[in-house]
Structure 1
Amino acid sequence: MNKVIIFAIMTCLSFSQFEAGKKAVGGQVSTFKSDVTTWEYDGNEIKFTDTAIGLNNTGAYFVIDNLSILFGVQYVLYNQTWECNGSDCSDDWFTGSNDINHAIEPENPFGYMLGSAYYFGNSYAHTSYVDPSSIDDDDSYISFGGGYMLEMAPGIYLDTKVEYRHSLSETSTVPESAPPTGTDIGDILNAPDVESSSLQLYGSMGITVVF
């Protein structure tokens, strides 16, 4: 009986759910964030509005049965405004005593992902290289993990996955809650020649369409 069960499992895993030549699109279509902060002091009111719209998508192409190559792009559009006493702040509000204007125009980063995935029935293993931002030269990482595709309708899947992310950054990352320099922990974490590694666990859920 056990041999029959094992044979049935192997047959299911080897069945080509995703044939060569098929394509898939998925991931988050967009994200939106808006933060508004107001300060009041000595009769003046300053309001800062920070809005970010993220557009990101992932595509896949099955080069052979059950093996796909992945490509993803991400673009974040920032819009930041300052209001001083109910109207847009003039240049005078950004100019210091040295006559230098300190107004900062936000940059809009572009990121990308390259990877591959192999499917065992509706389960899959994946790995990828990710560079989240064209602005930050030290934020790339390698991810690897697994996922499961639950078919909701023909060609439409609920895609759930978990992944480990191994940072390729050469800069030590210090948590904001870490003790400051002057403490044993703070001195070690902020030492100029300290070596560190980062391995993070992430989970996600989205919709993938295969056609």
Structure 2
Amino acid sequence: MTRRRRRSWMGLVGIVLLGAAVQGVTALPGTGTTESAAFIAAVAVSALALFAQIAVTSAATTAIVGLPVAWRSVLAWTGVILVAGILVGILVPLALPLVAVAAACVLPAAARGRRGALRGVDVFRRAPVAATLAAVVTVLASVLTWVFAVASGLFLAGAAGGVASWLWAGAVGALLLLWWTKLQDRPEPPSGRETRAQDRGEVRR
């Protein structure tokens, strides 16, 4: 393992731990009953921590696979994904797993500086079976993360419940994003014309 990849792994683990600690503190019981200024501050810190965690995780997984990171693109698309997630969570909460799948397609493409990060969804064309499997696993992991968050809130008191649920969410999210990042490296499938040309070349030989 190269030094750069080792640092990337350390950064990935570090941001998961730090994110869980921050989210656990901002989710302490009674935070919602404090005066408005303190409550707004806690929400802002939580949102900024989540933004930073998503961006750094995207960058770290891209660096782990040996690619340079386009930070401007990462930060911009992280903001878009976060806003979209908040809106969907308010309007159609059951659709949040689909937002997770969309983010898993877009963020790796954005992190490598690909023009038109939305084209990250063409991973389903390049590797249809692997991408479909990854999408199903991502949806199931999103549901399990919600179940784990509810269970940890019920059985773990205070900040421990928040830390545990965010540790789970951060670790699972990082592993899934690394999987999707590797999927983005799948080569383009040969077109029908290229395949026929190759077949004719083999016949001539």
Q: TM-score range by the shorter chain?
A: under 0.3
Say which structure is richer in strand.
1
Greater RCO, 1 or 2 (C-alpha within 8 Å, sep 6+): 2
TM-score (norm 1): 0.27
Larger-Rg structure: 1
Return the TM-score normalized by structure 2: 0.27
> Whose helix fraction is larger, Structure 1's or Structure 2's?
2
